[in-house]
């Protein structure tokens, strides 16, 4: 006996509901993963990560990615260092700004394997009692994400616009000659206490100041190069893994803080993301 028209409609409706529920599950899973990653950049949550307490399930062990204009990151440790190791901590200098919030303001996920997001980080001053104070500025990051079968991030392609303008608010006066000299001095003093023994890259802080004082200072919107700004980032990361990052702070740049060919490093998608290249972030890649 052929099914009635009503029966067919009921079956179709049931299939639609099942499909919708499945979509809700992976959409929610993917959004929760991204929100969890960004929430750990907010002070003081980032301190736990800096102390080695890394939550499982957010990044795949083989996670790779590119962050424009900072660089490429290969593997789990590289990835978690970028996302959490560079989140601001109190500097003690005005405005002493940290991330008070990280809000995912745009999010789409058209399949279990892919999502895209925009996050607004809000900088606020940190009060003496460690509570957020006055608003300082905002910073945006736009990212595409690829997830493994368990929902951890396996690849990412992100962009942070207008960093230079943001730094103008968080480090007022930093772009002046005096401000740049102070930045170099701070960097060199920090690396002198971090990059020691087998990880030493300058004889002392004075040699560091002399060498970096002759280098291009750099631009926060074009970090990837043989400049001071790039080394400032890696001086922060050297606190976490001096055996890896001290050489990047040193005179040679260690293969990271070196001048690069634009087309070679911003479009080498197969190297960074794997065999699918840019299509890693296209849901069509994963359809039968």
pLDDT tens across 66-93, in order? 999 999 999 999 999 999 999 999 988 8
The pLDDT value given to residue 8: 41
**Which uninterrupted H or E stretch holds 242?**
helix 242-249
Percent of all residues in the chain with a pLDDT value above 90, rounded to a whole number: 86
Q: What is the residue-averaged pLDDT of the chain? A: 92
The pLDDT value given to residue 11: 40
pLDDT tens per residue, range 256-269? 999 999 999 999 99
Q: Where are the beta strands (DSSP E) in the chain?
A: 59-68, 71-74, 97-111, 114-126, 132-147, 153-159
Instruction: Please determine, for residue 16, whether its predicted confidence score (pLDDT) is greater than 60.
Output: no
Distances in whole angstroms, Cα of residue 234 to Cα of each of 70, 152, 223, 280: 11, 26, 11, 28
pLDDT tens per residue, range 25-60? 999 999 999 999 999 999 999 998 888 888 999 999
Average pLDDT estimate for 150-170: 98
Closest CA to 67 of 144, 148, 152: 144
Instruction: Please determine, for residue 177, whether its predicted confidence score (pLDDT) is greater than 50.
Output: yes
Rounded to the nearest angstrom, the gap between the alpha carbon of residue 157 and the centroid of all alpha carbons in its chain is 10
First to last CA, the chain: 33
């Amino acid at each position: 006996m052929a099914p009635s028209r009503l029966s067919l409609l009921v079956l179709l409706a049931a299939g639609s509901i099942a499909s919708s529920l499945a979509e809700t599950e992976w959409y929610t899973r993917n959004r929760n993963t991204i929100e969890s990653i960004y929430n750990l950049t907010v002070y003081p949550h980032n301190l736990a990560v800096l102390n080695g307490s890394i939550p499982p399930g957010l990044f795949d062990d083989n996670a790779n990615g590119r962050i424009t204009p900072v660089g490429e990151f290969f593997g789990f440790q590289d990835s978690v260092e970028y996302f959490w190791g560079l989140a601001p901590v109190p500097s003690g200098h005005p405005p002493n700004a940290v991330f008070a919030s990280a809000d995912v303001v745009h999010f789409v996920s058209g399949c279990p394997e892919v999502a895209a997001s925009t996050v607004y980080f809000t900088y606020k001053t940190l009060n003496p009692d460690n509570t957020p104070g006055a608003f300082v500025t905002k910073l945006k990051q736009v990212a595409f994400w690829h997830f493994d079968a368990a929902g951890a991030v396996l690849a990412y392609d992100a962009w942070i616009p207008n960093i230079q303008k943001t730094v103008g608010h968080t480090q007022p006066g930093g772009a002046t000659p005096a401000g740049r000299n102070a930045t170099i001095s701070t960097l060199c003093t920090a690396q002198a206490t971090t990059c020691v023994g087998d990880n030493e890259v300058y004889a002392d802080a004075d040699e560091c100041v002399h060498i970096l004082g002759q280098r291009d200072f750099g631009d926060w919107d074009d970090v990837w190069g043989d400049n001071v700004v790039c080394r400032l980032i890696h001086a922060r990361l050297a606190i976490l893994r001096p055996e890896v990052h001290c050489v990047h702070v040193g005179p040679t740049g260690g293969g990271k803080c070196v001048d690069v060919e634009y087309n070679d490093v911003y479009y080498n998608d197969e190297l960074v993301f794997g065999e699918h290249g840019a299509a890693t972030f296209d849901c069509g890649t994963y359809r039968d």
